[in-house]
Amino acid sequence: MYEEHSGRFVQKKFAAGIQIPDGVGFMMYTELRDWTEWQERCALGLCAEATAKRLVSYGHSRFLYYARKYLRRTALRDARTITPSPEQCWHLFETRAAIGRTREGKSYKRWIFARGETSHDNLLDVVQAGATLLFRDAVRDHLRKEAPPAQCLSLQAPLRTPDDALTWEDLLPGTPDPGDALALRELDRMAVRYADALLPETTRREQLLLLARASGVNFSSKPLARAAGCGRSAMYNALRGLLRRITGRLAADLEGEDRQTLALLTLKIVDELKKATAGKKKLDKRHGRFFIEERETV
């Protein structure tokens, strides 16, 4: 068995014939004859049942290990949601081993076994180490194709906590039910009151970002990054934090109100905050899109 330590694969010795924990579940040991049988018969489906069972168990464990290791590159939180069945994990590995080529043009499957010809290590160790590297690459390729990238945010994700009923999708502009004009005007008045109360609580960074949104300045702007003192990811996190505070206050003050009304009111509050922030700061167009504060700074 192998565990990766600083790029090296270290063998773990266990009694034969048992299932062992490897940190990601249970993995059956493999024997050299399992790998040579797979090599000779070309595909797992042609191997003996016991051989196939051991190899599939080994492969699934390696796949899940690397799926968890590289999960941070995706927007997912649980590696199990993106890890295929044990048989499919092996299929992805086997396909890569058969089709992939080294720089010398040798198939990866041949490479796995050819490494043993020049190594002084135990042949089983060498074969499993090579297979583990292929599983790592198969996982990376699978995540790149199937998993949403880390910067993506699901519209169905809750705004504040996992149990929050209000989602980001509720904040998307839509066609609100006008109901009666009086109710909409009351929402406008409520938005102004909430914005007046929230503005003194906003940070300088949040106000800069609100102004950027109101002015159409992209969060990739380097002058904006210098003024805000952070990068684009931190800017988005700051705005999300502001939205969570707004929705949290509305949920506490307007308990029992329907989600559509709360979402519409949140959008109106954000619009009012943009207007209020624009009244305190301005965009100096002589220096590109660079923010400067007026004398009456926040």
Q: Per residue of the chain (298 residues), give pLDDT as tens.
A: 444 433 333 334 333 333 333 444 445 688 899 998 998 888 888 999 999 999 999 999 999 999 999 988 888 878 888 899 999 999 999 999 988 888 888 888 889 898 888 878 888 989 999 999 999 999 999 999 988 887 777 777 776 665 666 777 777 776 655 556 677 888 889 999 999 999 888 888 888 888 888 888 888 888 888 888 888 889 989 989 999 999 889 988 888 888 888 888 999 999 999 888 877 655 444 333 444 443 333 3
pTM over 0.75: no
CA distances from 6 to 2, 3, 9, 10, 201 (A): 13, 10, 8, 10, 46
Structure-token match 């939180």, residue found: 77
Residue 27: what are its φ and ψ, rounded to 5°? -130, 130
Cα 59 to Cα 243: distance, rounded to the nearest angstrom = 43
Cα 294 to Cα 49: distance, rounded to the nearest angstrom = 77
Cα 209 to Cα 211: distance, rounded to the nearest angstrom = 5
Cα 233 to Cα 128: distance, rounded to the nearest angstrom = 39
In angstroms, what is the C-alpha Rg of the chain? 28
Q: Tell me which residue of 218, 66, 61, 95 sits closest to 74, measured CA to CA.
A: 66
130-146 per-residue burial string, b: 16 or more CB within 10 A, e: under 16:
bbbbbbbebbeebbeee
The pLDDT of residue 285 is: 44
Give the Cβ contact number of residue 27 at 10 Å: 21
Cα 211 to Cα 282: distance, rounded to the nearest angstrom = 8
Contact predicate 265/183, CB 8 Å: no
The pLDDT of residue 163 is: 64
